[in-house]
Amino acid sequence: MSRSEAVGDEAGQLVIYCWPGYVPNTVIDAFTEETGIVVFREFYNSNEELLRHRLVNRRYDLVQPSDYAVDALIKRGALEPVRPERIPNLKNLDPRFRNLQYDPGGTYSVPWLAGTVGIVINTRKISEPVQGYGDVFSGNYRGRIVALSDAREWLGWALCYLGLPVNEVTPSVLEKVRGVWEEWIPQVAIFDSDAAADVMLDGRADLALTWSGDAASLLSKSSAYSFVLPREGAHQYVDSLAVPLGAPNRDQAESFIDFILRPEISVMISNAIPFTNPNQAAFERLTDKQKSNPASYPQGNPDLRSFREIGDMVDEVEALFNELRFNRES
């Protein structure tokens, strides 16, 4: 249900500003049936779009930022502290997700799902090894690649490829990134942050740089696909729920957080969206097939990086990405 359809007593409502397709209808319906609280959703397509909003007193009750966006919102003083006494199911979280670098102690955010960004390969079309960004953008797959349209992700890929820290961006570093992007961006056939799996299934691309949830979906549908975390380093993100400062329905928001932390509800989320589930009690209830999906739960000891806020450089990064992408498409 969209926000524009909201009617009735505001105290019986909950407005979530979130990623498209990332809050399953089954979960919302179950929450409303139990509590009588009607849930409305508004959507954004990138963390940068979320951060451009002035969230304070915009009448959102919950937002769904990723790691570095939580970092930015905390620094702005834009979030209410989590009240643990109202969220007893916090006990179900895996301890590895309880004290994250961008929000020590989980003071302002509660993990929703985690994931990585990696490479999906159609092995029926590509037989040679593809292990990293250098392989994807070798020139051998020009016009056969679908990739995220997210500038911050592209920045991370280039910095990993260059062997540079993913959270230290200066004008001189961005010039080095420009050189990489000028080689890479023209090789991409389709930019899509929402439906890379569909692009691969339709045969419009043979390689994808995409979210691990998309990758997990592909792997579960066909043995033709394999998933690789880039050898140069990959982004591991945590998407969270957080309450904006001054949210009109803070109690309802925390009731929703507690609801989704129940093991049986968290399993519903994993069934619909196969990312990494940070809920330890829910993970124990997943099927062996779900637990063994290498995109959902990477094996071994991959080189994973966490993003942090990069300050005002984010605008320059976005401007450069859009400039090069526009020039490619013109």
What integer pLDDT is reported at residue 326 of this predicted model? 87
Q: Quick one: fold of 115-236+297-329?
A: D-Maltodextrin-Binding Protein; domain 2 (3.40.190)
pTM over 0.85: yes
CATH superfamily of 3-114+238-291: Periplasmic binding protein-like II (3.40.190.10)
- The pLDDT score that the predictor gives to residue 300 is 87
- Enumerate the β-bridge partners of residue 305: 235
At 34, which amino acid appears?
E
The two counts, helices (H) then strands (E), for the chain are: 13, 10
Q: Which residues lie closer than 8 Å to 308 by C-beta, 6 or more apart?
A: 67, 68, 71, 101, 102, 167
Give bridge partners of residue 210 from the DSSP assignment. 118
CA atoms within 13 A on the CB side of 57: 0
Q: Give the torsion sign (CA, 307, 312, 318, 324).
A: negative
Instruction: Name the token pair of 279.
Output: 């809920």
3-114+238-291 and 115-236+297-329 share one fold: yes
Closest by alpha carbon to 147, among 110, 177, 117? 117
Per-residue confidence (pLDDT) for residue 3, from 0 to 100: 42
Residue identified by tokens 């959902």 is 296
Beta-bridge partners for 121 = 207, 226
Q: Where are the domains of the chain?
A: 3-114+238-291, 115-236+297-329
pLDDT of residue 5: 39
Residue 53: predicted pLDDT: 80
The predicted structure's pLDDT at residue 11 = 57
Residue 325 parent element (H or E) = helix 313-329
Q: Could you tell me what percentage of the chain is helix, strand and coil, using 3-state DSSP and rounding each to the nearest 5?
A: 45, 20, 40
pLDDT for residue 319:
96
pLDDT tens for the chain, residues 1 to 330: 444 333 334 458 999 999 999 999 999 999 999 999 999 999 998 898 898 887 655 689 999 999 999 999 999 999 999 999 999 999 999 999 998 999 999 999 999 999 999 999 999 999 999 999 999 999 999 999 999 999 999 999 999 999 999 999 999 999 999 999 999 999 999 999 988 999 999 999 999 999 999 999 999 999 999 999 999 999 999 999 999 999 999 999 999 999 999 999 999 999 999 999 999 999 999 999 999 999 999 988 899 999 999 988 999 999 999 999 988 655
